[in-house]
């Protein structure tokens, strides 16, 4: 297990550079958008990874609520945090792509809005974890994660209704993907998934270490106060 981490790190680095080469050189240039369309190979895999991490957060939170297992709590925290990072990437690259293609930075499109709302929900989740007092954090956070997951379909439908009433420039959708593009997309997704696993793993170890240090500190405080008397 000790060697698995460096192996994964090397694999991720290789995959990421290969995916970058594929995205910039191998993938065909899109007919109407030109080279700018290559943002797609970073934007979409990041979005999928973020959604997958949020799903992981939900599953881990439910496991925590049932079993009260510390590991599940750490997994929930880590996946939410890394998910927010990937979601931020999506929200930053999205407008950079939209500007040259549609001439606008932002539009209240279904997918964009859904991503933004998810980002807001999970940032509030991380805020709660930061602000609540130590002993109750995992439980409160797990409950909030369940509420956030309940909210997602409602957010989806509300934005969908909203869109049907306030039509805006039709974006993407329809049209089939060139199979070569699809292949490059999948390679990029695999690379980013590996990267996400790597980051989560490191963050998981840091969190474990942090909890141990904090516990020991509390313990030393207690021992000292007893020993002093």
Q: Which of residues 127-186 bind other proteins (CB under 8 A)?
A: 127-128, 131-133, 135-136, 139-140, 143-144, 146-148, 150-151, 154-155, 157-159, 161-162, 165
- Taking the complex as a whole, the smallest distance from the CB of residue 144 to other proteins amounts, in Å, to 7
The token duo for 33 is 């958008």
- Taking the complex as a whole, the smallest distance from the CB of residue 37 to other proteins amounts, in Å, to 8
Residue placing its CB nearer to other proteins in the complex, 5 or 157: 157
Return the number of other C-beta atoms located less than 10 Å from residue 33's C-beta: 14
Kind and range of the H or E run holding 56: helix 40-67
Stretch 101-120: interaction string toward other proteins, x if CB under 8 A: ----------------x--x
The token duo for 88 is 């931020």
With b for 16 or more beta-carbon neighbours within 10 A and e for fewer, the 196-222 pattern comes to bebbbbebbeebeeeeeeeeeeeeeee
Neighbouring C-alpha atoms within 13 Å toward the C-beta of 203? 17
Contact with other proteins (CB under 8 A): which of 26, 71, 177, 212?
A: 212
Given the rule CB under 8 A, which of 2-10, 41-49, 54-62, 175-183 is the region that contacts other proteins?
A: 41-49
Under rule CB under 8 A, residue 124 binds other proteins: yes
The token duo for 211 is 């909890």
The three-state secondary structure class of 105 is: coil
The number of residues in the chain equals 229
Under rule CB under 8 A, residue 190 binds other proteins: no
Residue placing its CB nearer to other proteins in the complex, 123 or 193: 123
Contact with other proteins (CB under 8 A): which of 39, 77, 112, 187?
A: 39
Distance (Å, whole) CA 32 – CA 23:
17
- Taking the complex as a whole, the smallest distance from the CB of residue 82 to other proteins amounts, in Å, to 8
Stretch 47-86: interaction string toward other proteins, x if CB under 8 A: ------------------x-xx-------------x--x-
Size of the site for other proteins (CB under 8 A): 73
| DSSP at 172 | S
Q: 196 with 16: CB under 8 angstroms?
A: no
**Residue labelled with tokens 């510390």:** 70
The token duo for 226 is 């007893």
- Taking the complex as a whole, the smallest distance from the CB of residue 137 to other proteins amounts, in Å, to 9
Contact with other proteins (CB under 8 A): which of 54, 58, 189, 195?
A: 195
- Taking the complex as a whole, the smallest distance from the CB of residue 170 to other proteins amounts, in Å, to 20
């Amino acid at each position: 297990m000790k060697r698995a981490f460096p192996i994964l790190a090397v694999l991720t680095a290789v995959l990421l550079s290969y995916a970058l080469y594929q995205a910039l050189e191998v993938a065909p240039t899109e007919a109407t958008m030109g080279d700018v369309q290559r943002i797609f190979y970073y934007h979409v895999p990041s979005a999928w990874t973020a959604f997958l991490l949020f799903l992981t957060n939900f599953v881990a939170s439910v496991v925590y609520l049932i079993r009260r297992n510390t590991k599940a709590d750490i997994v929930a925290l880590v996946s939410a945090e890394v998910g927010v990072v990937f979601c931020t990437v999506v929200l930053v690259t999205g407008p950079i792509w939209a500007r040259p293609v549609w001439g606008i930075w932002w539009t209240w499109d279904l997918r964009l809005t859904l991503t933004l709302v998810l980002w807001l929900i999970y940032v509030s989740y991380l805020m709660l974890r930061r602000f609540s007092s130590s002993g109750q954090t995992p439980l409160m956070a797990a409950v909030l994660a369940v509420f956030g997951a309940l909210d997602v379909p409602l957010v989806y439908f509300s934005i969908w209704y909203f869109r049907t009433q306030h039509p805006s420039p039709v974006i993407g959708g329809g049209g089939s993907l060139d199979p070569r593009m699809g292949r490059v997309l999948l390679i990029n997704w695999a690379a980013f998934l590996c990267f996400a696993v790597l980051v989560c793993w490191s963050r998981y170890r840091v969190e474990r270490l942090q909890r141990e240090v904090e516990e020991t500190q509390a313990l030393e405080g207690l021992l000292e106060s007893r020993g002093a008397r």
